[in-house]
Structure 1
Amino acid sequence: MTDITRHHTGTRMSQIVIHGDTVYLAGQVGTAGASVAQQTQDCLNQIDALLSEAGSDRTRILQTTIWLADMADFAEMNAVWDSWVPAGHAPARACGEARLATPDYRVEFIVTAARAD
């Protein structure tokens, strides 16, 4: 049986869950009230740090789900995302509109990745 490892665990959730060679990250949000571009960059910086801690990196992302508070922000978010994703390593991705935890959050990223060999 494969062990499950959890990092940054609280009562409600863990920021990182590792099962075998798969890394699951909790939803990442940026600075409340900041622009969509800034919140996106904040999220991606947090994802980089969490993946590194879990023994992975952005080239190993398998799937990303992105929630936007307003799909009108799609292009602004994508401008930051597109410059962050390494060429040839785009993950499977879905993006939709959802009401987030607070109106000050405009974007949230949920990532699943493989650990490095």
Structure 2
Amino acid sequence: MIERQETAQRMSKIVKHNGTVYLCGQVGSGDTVTEQTQDCLARVDALLNQAGSSRDQILQAIIWVADMADFAEMNAVWDAWVPAGHAPARACGEAKLARPELKVEVIVTAAYA
């Protein structure tokens, strides 16, 4: 069974299937990479909670940064956020994001009970 939450015409914010939760890409508010990453990860936390999961159940994360020069700044926030011993499989690349002011987007897949 597939369960979709917060579904609109274009996408669902959460899709659950066979013990796995898929989140749509999350972006954050703020002027700096640090602020946007913190806000983005807070949004991930909220969606994981809504789906019955948590950050220690993340299986994979895909992170897009608008400029790889911001990689270290984004990683400082990420490293503080990920629970010790629960780092997911992760990829990070540079991409032109949907709006010019966006600096970071995070896509998460997690397990749920």
Q: Distance in 2 between matches of 1:47 and 1:19?
A: 18
Listed as ranges, the gaps of 5+ residues in structure 1 are none
- After superposition, the C-alpha distances for 1:7-61 in whole angstroms (9 at most, x for unaligned) are 1111100000001200000000001x52100100011000101001101000000
Count of matched residue pairs: 113
Which residue of structure 2 lines up, in the alignment, with residue 30 of structure 1? 28
Distance 1:81 1:115 in 2: 21
Q: Partner of 1:76: helix, strand, or coil?
A: helix
* SS of alignment partner, residue 72 of structure 1: helix
Match of 2:68 among 68, 71, 94: 71
Q: TM-score, normalised by structure 2?
A: 0.98
| 1:60 alignment counterpart | 57
Gaps of 5+ in 2: none
* Residue 104 in structure 1 maps to residue 101 in structure 2: yes
| TM-score (normalizing by structure 1) | 0.95
Q: Percent identity?
A: 69
Q: Over aligned residue pairs, what C-alpha RMSD do you find?
A: 0.7
Q: Which amino acid aligns with 2:12?
A: S
SS in 1 for 2:96: coil
Secondary structure at 1:29's aligned position in 2?
coil
